[in-house]
Amino acid sequence: MQENQNVQDLSFSQELDKYSKKWHALSNERILKILKTNQKSGLTTQEAAKRLEEFGRNTLPKPKKPNIFAIFFKSFLDPLCIMMAIAGIASLIIGLINTLEAPDIAGLIIIAVIILTNSIIATLQEWKSLNQKEAIKNNVLEAVVLRDGKQTRINIEELVPGDIIYTKSGDFVPADSRIIDNQMLKVDESALTGENEAVEKVDEVIEEQHLVLGDQKNIAFMSTLVVEGKMVGVVFNTGRESEIGKIATKISETKKQKTPLEHKVSKLTLIIGLASVILGAIIFGIAYVNNEKIGESIYKLLLVAVSSAISIIPESLTIIVKICLFIATKKMARKNVMIKKPKSIETLGNVNVICSDKTGTLTQNKMFVDSLYMSGKEYKAKEIELQEDPLVRCMALCNDGVINKKGEKIGNATDLALVGLLMDNKINYQAMRRKYKRVDEIPFDSKRKVMSTVNQVDGPDGKYVAYTKGAMDYLIPHCKHIVDNDIVRPITDQDIENIKEQLLVFAKKGMRTLGFAKKDLDEIDLEQDYQYEDKLVFMGLVAIIDPPREEVKYSIEDAHNAGIRVIMITGDHKVTAFEIASRLGITDEQYNDVITGAEIESLSNEELIEKLKSTNVFARVNPEHKALIVDLLQSQNNIVAMTGDGVNDSPSLVKADVGIAMGITGTEVSKKVSDVILTDDNFKSIISGINSGRNVYEKIKYSISFLVAANISQVLTILIVLGIFGQLALNSVNILFHIFVVETIVAIPIGMQRERKGVMLNPPPTHKKESLLKGIITQICLTTLFNTLFAVLNYSIADIYVMHSDLASSKEELQKLASGYAKAGSYICIMNSPIFYAILFNNRFLPIKNDNGETIIDKYKPNKWLIILMCIALTLTTLTMLPFEGLNEFFDFKTHKLPAILAVIFIINTLLTPICIYLVNLIVLKTTSNMKKNLSKQQTINKEL
């Protein structure tokens, strides 16, 4: 019995699959029969429960939230963490083979603390990020459905194929449904198709095959919005099987690529790992050859070699990166930029191309009337005072838009723009509609692109007037007369020519035009409505615009100054798109072309890449075109950010290096797949986010330069001293303590610096694979040079001083004393110099000003955490250098009875390291600044010539 039931269920599912692309071409009766439902009674509760079990809940795919313990254990897979763990295990094995002593145990504890600290911070950061995502949730929505012959409200998740649903203006369509009855239904499908204008729906059969979604006028798709009218529909697809569900499923199955930061850290880790192994082997080899002088066991030499290898690894880099990202995430949230994936902050900072939608992001998404054309003259809407006349009546009566007392807007954007104009002129359009009742109408039709209403203007026994508004290419051929200064006269060829010229003027300004006409009627014939749109009187036209956001132009200018290219990708008309782009500064002498979706279809990828060299505006594009443009830009090694708000934008949001969704107008799908959400839908916030991203990138690079320089200095000191004196300048405990103090306590606050304004003047990376070391190699080399030089100098001076002194009676005792004091000298410099020069790792030693004398790069001011932790680090290192023999023996150097002259020399050389670094950087910065000024002046002269 159960087996037969399963076969029956399976055959029902298979039967529905056969009609997956044919629902628009089937009659209502046929659809109801296929879905085994009844329009008058709907499904029974039992049948609905059965289908819910078979088809699943009407929900979109949701990513699984990982367990906090899984996140914790996954954090140990970090490359730097793995390298540290391998080195720690090697140290443990070596120690066990020999004998674990107190210094060895201390070293292992330091390694374990660093690894554990890394993992804890990584886990907390990831967990907070996931909890932030949980703030973006869908509201629980209900649908009106026919069950057991009664209309009832249920959770939309419980809808199943075959349910009869009811929706009205303001409702979201809860599932893919075939419309079986409707009244003046218009649906906003922009979330799915990207089209701004609401679509007028029908309930008749559409026999054409292979229709795109936008042409399936008898189907209401899940998550689209009913803006006018109401409908009765029968559900045929829910959840994953709906059109929005298919997109969401496809996106959830797409693996997000690694961010550029992850690639760069992996590459840097590989380089450092190889270098550490090589240098560790070299140190062991040299130490082994000189072991007669050193006098240590092979195991001790191995421990020193392993510790030296560990010391090269920037162990705290992962912690620094996560702290930088955590701080930036909190700051950016206050600037209307919600970061869902912290690692994308660095990618956002490295973006060199922004692909932006027009409506709502670059523009205000508020259509309003900019200009009017009446009696052969153009008027600015703000400069004219309208009175009730036939044109104003047409605007009010041939219109279904409403703005209520609460400011809520109901209707399409065009109608609402006209209502806004009337309200600005204190014209009571609602009273006018009550006074002049609508007795008939011809709804807007996408082929004619006009709508008409018939209103009774003079009372029950008076005459009627047909008002028509819409596209001028339809109205002009149907107009026989024109209103000229309140006088109606026959329209002439010159009038028509003037109107066409004015239409071109408005189009070039990026405006949408709407014409108005009327026809006086003595009587009406409800069976012959074609008579309303014949022999019309032209009254005028209006130009409607969605104006650019005032602040966006300056933000785009900031983007250009920062080396970022801005591309507009929109579904709007070519002329309108180019005009808005020109106003905002997106087009210029180089990028002065526009490409449409139709043109993209006719071009090969190679031809389109060539066109991209001169094109910043793409108009009338489909969703697949957006993804293609992003893909081609990425193929040229660009780092691309893509904005979007609709379901149709989701594939390109996933494809882009940084997907940016709109927080206000964006759909839940676009928010879920994006990396960043703008809570104010403003392009300006993108630039603010890039600013923060660049600051993060800068902090990470300066942290890397500090860590690498300090670590290499330590290893080079060991190598040089081994080569010259045949001695180990530092032992394993010294090396590991350096990791704890310098790399953890001192390095971390470098990533906590405040943001600086001038960071946007830094050029973005030239390509995705650009090394993290680019731009900081000079700093690393200078720091390594001076730190190593003075550390070796300390060792040399101490060795020479003691060997030529009478501090001991025998040569052996002198050599032992010289070695102890010399090691102390190198230890003091290697440990303390980084503490002092940490404050210099910001490349901001002097303010940089422009030609007007305005500071564009502010002078560096250290943060309080850096100062506090520098003091703590200095205190710890000072404690290790106290002149106690037991402490000296643990750290393998000698400060007990240290000659005062050596102590002074050690301190001077330690301080000379940051002083020399500062002076050289100052010279370089001043030289570079002067070169930039001279170059700027020369460019100005060249332009003038």
DSSP string, 6-37: HHHHHHHHHHHHHTTTTGGGS-HHHHHHHTT-
Residue 158 has a CB neighbour count (10 Å cut-off) of 18
Query: What are 186's strand-pairing partners?
Result: 200, 228
DSSP for 291-311? HHHH---HHHHHHHHHHHHHH
Task: Please name the residue that has the structure tokens 């995430």.
Answer: 329
Residue 447 backbone phi and psi in degrees, to 5: -80, -45
Residue of 154 and 67 predicted with greater confidence: 154
Residue of 543 and 245 predicted with greater confidence: 543
Q: Are 795 and 722 in contact (CB under 8 A)?
A: no
Q: What angle do CA 723, 729, 730 make, to 5 degrees?
A: 135
**Angle at which helices 298-312 and 260-289 pack, to 10 degrees?**
150
What is the helix, strand, coil percentage profile of the chain, to 5?
55, 15, 30
Q: How far is CA 811 from the centre of its chain?
A: 69
Judge whether residue 714 has pLDDT over 80: yes
Of the listed ranges 523-537, 650-664, 688-702, the least confidently predicted one is 523-537
Q: How far is CA 6 from the centre of its chain?
A: 47
3-class SS of residue 74: helix
C-alpha–C-alpha distance, residues 49 and 162, integer Å? 12
Long-range CB contact pairs, 273-277, < 8 A, 24+: 273/79, 273/83, 273/313, 275/312, 276/83, 276/308, 276/309, 276/310, 276/312, 276/313, 277/309
The β-bridge relationship of strands 676-678 and 337-339 is antiparallel
C-alpha–C-alpha distance, residues 533 and 538, integer Å? 11
Q: Per DSSP, which regions of 57-114 are E strands?
A: none
Structure tokens at 353: 């191309």
**pLDDT the model gives residue 490:** 95
Average pLDDT over residues 440-454: 81
DSSP for 541-552? EEEEE-PBPHHH
* Residue 913: Cβ-neighbour burial (10 angstroms; 0-12, 13-18, 19+): buried
Quick one: DSSP state of residue 245?
A: H
Give the DSSP H or E segment for 420.
helix 413-424
Q: Are 670 and 646 in contact (CB under 8 A)?
A: yes
Task: Please name the residue that has the structure tokens 């929505």.
Answer: 141
395-433 burial, b at 16+ Cβ within 10 Å, e below that, comes to bbbbbbbebeeeeebbbbbbbbbbbbbbeeeebebeebb
Share of the chain above pLDDT 70, in %: 81
User: Of the listed 104, 357, 370, 546, which one is catalytic?
Assistant: 357
| pTM across the whole model | 0.67
Amino acid at 733: V
| Backbone conformation region of residue 604, classed left if phi is above 0, alpha if psi is from -120 to 50, else beta | beta
**pLDDT the model gives residue 102:** 59
Q: From residue 696, give the alpha-carbon distance in Å to each of 317, 347, 657, 689, 702.
A: 13, 10, 17, 11, 10
Instruction: Taking the CA atoms of 526, 532, 533 and 535 in sequence, report the sign of the dihedral they define.
Output: positive
**Four-CA torsion 796, 797, 800, 806, nearest 10 degrees:** -140
Residue 698 backbone phi and psi in degrees, to 5: -65, -45
Q: How far is CA 483 from the centre of its chain?
A: 52
| Backbone conformation region of residue 199, classed left if phi is above 0, alpha if psi is from -120 to 50, else beta | beta
Quick one: DSSP state of residue 175?
A: S
For 653, residues 6+ apart whose C-beta sits below 8 A from its C-beta are 642, 644, 659, 660, 661, 670, 673, 674
Residue of 64 and 888 predicted with greater confidence: 888
Residue 836 backbone phi and psi in degrees, to 5: -80, -40
Of the listed ranges 120-124, 183-187, 528-532, 853-857, the least confidently predicted one is 853-857
Q: Are 724 and 838 in contact (CB under 8 A)?
A: no
Judge whether residue 4 has pLDDT over 80: no
Q: What angle do CA 721, 724, 728 make, to 5 degrees?
A: 35
Judge whether residue 176 has pLDDT over 80: yes
Q: What is the mean pLDDT of the chain?
A: 80
Judge whether residue 3 has pLDDT over 50: no
Average pLDDT over residues 466-488: 92
C-alpha–C-alpha distance, residues 382 and 174, integer Å? 42
Query: What are 543's strand-pairing partners?
Result: 371, 513
**pLDDT the model gives residue 668:** 66
3-class SS of residue 707: helix
The β-bridge relationship of strands 353-356 and 512-521 is unpaired
Query: What are 593's strand-pairing partners?
Result: 615
Of the listed ranges 593-597, 670-674, 859-863, the least confidently predicted one is 859-863
C-alpha–C-alpha distance, residues 505 and 135, integer Å? 47
Q: Are 622 and 616 in contact (CB under 8 A)?
A: no
C-alpha–C-alpha distance, residues 681 and 645, integer Å? 9
**Angle at which helices 493-508 and 574-584 pack, to 10 degrees?**
50
- Residue 357 catalytic? yes
3-class SS of residue 378: strand
C-alpha–C-alpha distance, residues 465 and 488, integer Å? 15
Residue of 753 and 258 predicted with greater confidence: 753
Q: Are 692 and 349 in contact (CB under 8 A)?
A: yes
C-alpha–C-alpha distance, residues 261 and 251, integer Å? 23
**pLDDT the model gives residue 845:** 47
For 862, residues 6+ apart whose C-beta sits below 8 A from its C-beta are 753, 839
Residue 132 backbone phi and psi in degrees, to 5: -65, -35
- Domains of the chain, start order: 2-48+141-252 (2.70.150.10), 346-364+549-687 (3.40.50.1000), 368-545 (3.40.1110.10)
pLDDT in tens, 509-544: 878 899 999 998 877 776 665 678 889 999 999 999
Quick one: DSSP state of residue 156?
A: G
Quick one: DSSP state of residue 213?
A: G
C-alpha–C-alpha distance, residues 211 and 366, integer Å? 31
DSSP for 555-602? HHHHHHHTT-EEEEE-SS-HHHHHHHHHHHT---SSS-EEEEHHHHHH
Q: Are 232 and 171 in contact (CB under 8 A)?
A: no
3-class SS of residue 698: helix
Amino acid at 819: S
| CA neighbor of 99 nearest in space, from 261, 354, 244, 299 | 299
Judge whether residue 470 has pLDDT over 60: yes
pLDDT in tens, 132-173: 544 444 445 788 899 998 888 888 889 999 999 998 876 788
Highest mean predicted confidence (pLDDT) among 102-106, 240-244, 576-580, 835-839? 835-839
Q: From residue 306, give the alpha-carbon distance in Å to each of 88, 664, 780, 787.
A: 9, 55, 23, 22
**pLDDT the model gives residue 129:** 57
**pLDDT the model gives residue 12:** 64
Structure tokens at 714: 């330590």
pLDDT in tens, 354-401: 998 877 678 777 788 999 999 999 999 988 889 899 999 999 999 988
Residue 433 backbone phi and psi in degrees, to 5: -70, -35
For 67, residues 6+ apart whose C-beta sits below 8 A from its C-beta are none
Of the listed ranges 410-419, 727-736, 902-911, the least confidently predicted one is 727-736
First-residue to last-residue Cα distance in the chain: 93
Average pLDDT over residues 779-806: 91
**pLDDT the model gives residue 497:** 94
Largest CA distance in the chain: 133
Of the listed ranges 539-553, 676-690, 742-756, the least confidently predicted one is 742-756
Average pLDDT over residues 598-626: 87
Share of the chain above pLDDT 90, in %: 21
Residue of 646 and 561 predicted with greater confidence: 561
